[in-house]
Amino acid sequence: MSYVNEILERLAAQNPGQPEFLQAVTEVLESLQVVIEKNEDAYRKNAFLERLVTPERIIMFRVPWVDDKGQVQVNNGYRVQFNSAIGPYKGGLRFHPSVNQGILKFLGFEQTFKNSLTGLPIGGGKGGADFDPKGKSDREVMAFCQSFMTELYKYIGENEDVPAGDIGVGGREIGYLYGQYKRLTGQYEGVLTGKGLSFGGSLARTQATGYGLLYLTDELLRCNGKELKGKTVAVSGAGNVATYAIEKAWQLGAKPVTCSDSTGWIYDPDGIDVATLIDVKQVKRARLTEYAKARPNSVYHEGKGVWTTRCDVALPCATQNELLLDDAKALVANGCFAVCEGANMPTSLDATKYLQSQGVLFCPGKASNAGGVATSALEMTQNSQRLSWTFEEVDAKLKDIMVNIFHNVDNAAREYGMEGNYVAGANIAGFLKVADAMNAQGIV
Ligand code: NDP
Ligand code: 2IT
C-alpha cells in the first residue's frame, strides 16, 4: 500500500467522528501522492506525513460566563496550533454552535497550506468555541469574549500565535478579545488581527478576503481566455467574505445576483445591493427576509437552493460542505463555468471532482480565500513597524499576492503534469514550502 493510503487509513481509524478533518486531509494527500512517491522511503522513515497531519498542540478549555438573566453558561473553547514550521501560528477564531475539535482540526490543517501559499511567514492555527453569538446582547458577547481570552491569552502572542476572525467573530468580538488580552498582560502588541482602525487594525483587512477572492477569480478567468466583466455571479453567505466579494464583483463589472444565510437565500434580478446587505446583516444583525422587504424586486427563498440560479461564476462564501454533488450538477446544467471558493472547504470532494470532470474552472479556498490571512500578515507587519499604510497601499499588495498565488498554483499543477487542476496545484505549492522548512528543522 502506498504511504499516502496507509496514512489515510490510519487517520480514519484514529479520528472517528471527525469527517471534515478526514475530508480535508484526503483532498490534500491525494494531491500530494505524486510528490511523495518520488521519495517515499525517506518520507516514511521520517514519519513525515504523520507529523504533517498531527497538530503540534490542541488546547481545550471551559468558558464560563453569565447571561443577561444571571444564569451561568459554559461553552467549550479551543485553539488548534497545527504547524509552526514557517512562522507563528496564524488563523481565525470561529464562534458557532457547530464548532468541535474535528472542525477546528480541518480548518487548522487547511490554514497551514493556505498561509504557505501567501508567501508570508505565518504558520497554521485555528480556534474558537461552540458559542452562538446570534441573539446575544452586546454585554453577553463581551462577557463571553472576556472569559474566552482569560484562558487563551496564556498560549498566544505576537511571535507565538496570532488569532483573527472567522464565522461569528468580527470587529466587535476582536475588540472585546483585544481589550481583555491587554488587560491581562499589560502588552499593547499585534496579538490579534482584524483589529479596529483606532487600535492597530489595517485598512482593507475587513474587505480583504472578499476582494482577494475576486482578484484571483479575475486572473483565473483572464488566463483561461475569459473575463469577469459582464458575467452573472452567484454568491452564497451574507457575512464578511460574501459581502465584500459582492462589492468587488460589482467593481470589476460583474453582476452578483444571490446571497444566502443560515435560513434562506435571496435572488435579486437587479443585482445584490451592498448597502442594503450591510444594513441588514451588519447593522441590524437580522435575517435576509429583511433584505427582501427593502428590495421589492428581489425574491427570498427559505432553506437551501442558492446554486439553482443561472450563473456564469459561483462563489461559495458561507461554510463547509454547502456545495454538494447535486448543486454542482445544477450549476453545470445552468451554464456555470467557474467556481472559486471564498469559504473553507465549501465544496464536497465528489462535487469538486464532478466540476473538474465537466471542465469547470475550480479554485480551492486555500488559494482563493487567502487574501484575508495575507492581509492579516500585512497588519502584523504594520504593527511591528508601528506604521499604518493607506488603503490603496494595502489593496495593491493584496492584489499582487492574489495574482502571485494564482500563478504559483497554476505553475505547480503544470510542473506535476496536471495542468488546470488548481486543487492539486494549490496543495502541492502550499506543501513544498512547509515540507522544506520541516525537513530543515529536524524531527520536531
Ligand atoms: P461570517 O460569520 O461573517 O458570515 C458567515 C455567513 O455564512 C453568514 O451569512 C452565515 O449565516 C452563513 N453560515 C454560517 N454557517 C452556516 C451554515 N452552517 N449554514 C448556512 N449558512 C451558514 O463569516 P465569514 O464571512 O468570515 O466566513 C465565511 C466563510 O469564509 C467561512 O468558511 C470562513 O472560514 C471563511 N473564511 C473567512 C475569512 C475571513 O477573513 N473572515 C478568511 C478566509 C476564509 P447567518 O447570517 O445566518 O449567520
Ligand atoms: O480562514 C481564514 O483564513 C481566516 N479566517 C482568516 C485568518 C486570519 O488570521 O486572518
CATH of the domain at 146: 3.40.50.10860
Instruction: Provide the pLDDT for residue 324.
Output: 98
Q: Which of 392, 23, 360, 388 is nearest to 198 (CA)?
A: 388
Per-residue pLDDT averaged across 107-127, rounded?
98
Instruction: Provide the pLDDT for residue 175.
Output: 98
Percentage with pLDDT > 90 across the chain: 100
Looking at 323, 344, 368, which one is the last position of a domain? 368
Instruction: Provide the pLDDT for residue 434.
Output: 98
Q: What is the pLDDT of residues 60-82, one digit of tens each?
A: 999 999 999 999 999 999 999 99
The sheet with strand 72-83 has its strands ordered as: 57-66, 72-83, 123-129, 89-95, 161-164
Kindly state whether residues 125 and 220 are assigned to the same domain.
Answer: no
Q: Whose CA is nearest to atom 4 of ligand 2?
A: 92
Q: Which residues of 17-31 are buried (b: 16+ CB within 10 A; e: fewer)?
A: ebebbbbbbebbbbb
Integer Cα distance of 370 and 402 in angstroms: 8
Per-residue pLDDT averaged across 413-430, rounded?
98
pLDDT band at 207 (very low <50, low <70, confident <90, very high): very high
Q: What is the CATH number of the domain that holds 219?
A: 3.40.50.720
**Overall domain count for the chain:** 3
Among the atoms of ligand 2, which is closest to the Cα of residue 94? 5
Kindly state whether residues 224 and 357 are assigned to the same domain.
Answer: yes
Interhelix angle 422-440/101-117, nearest 10 degrees: 90
Q: Look up residue 25 and give its three cell numbers.
A: 486531509
Q: Whose CA is nearest to atom 40 of ligand 1?
A: 372
Q: Which of 245, 241, 272 is nearest to 257 (CA)?
A: 272
Kindly state whether residues 173 and 257 are assigned to the same domain.
Answer: no
For residue 398, being part of any structural domain is answered with no
Kindly state whether residues 218 and 345 are assigned to the same domain.
Answer: yes
Per-residue pLDDT averaged across 165-191, rounded?
98
Looking at 16, 36, 52, which one is the last position of a domain? 52
Kindly state whether residues 48 and 61 are assigned to the same domain.
Answer: no
For residue 383, being part of any structural domain is answered with no
Kindly state whether residues 256 and 343 are assigned to the same domain.
Answer: yes
Among residues 105, 114, 126, 366, which one is catalytic?
126
pLDDT band at 317 (very low <50, low <70, confident <90, very high): very high
Query: Is the pTM here over 0.85, yes or no?
Result: yes
CB 344 less than 6 A from any atom of ligand 1: yes
Q: Which domain holds residue 36?
A: 3-52
Looking at 333, 368, 403, which one is the last position of a domain? 368
What is the three-class DSSP state of 72? strand
Kindly state whether residues 126 and 213 are assigned to the same domain.
Answer: no
pLDDT band at 229 (very low <50, low <70, confident <90, very high): very high
Mean pLDDT, the chain, whole residue set: 98
For residue 240, being part of any structural domain is answered with yes
For residue 327, being part of any structural domain is answered with yes
Task: List beta partners, residue 299.
Answer: 267
Ligand nearest to the backbone CA of 284 = 1
Instruction: Provide the pLDDT for residue 222.
Output: 98
Kindly state whether residues 45 and 69 are assigned to the same domain.
Answer: no
Kindly state whether residues 364 and 229 are assigned to the same domain.
Answer: yes
For residue 375, being part of any structural domain is answered with no
- Known catalytic residue at 126: yes
Mutate-to-test residue for ligand 2 from 195, 319, 376, highest number of ligand atoms within 8 A of CB = 376
Ligand nearest to the backbone CA of 108 = 2
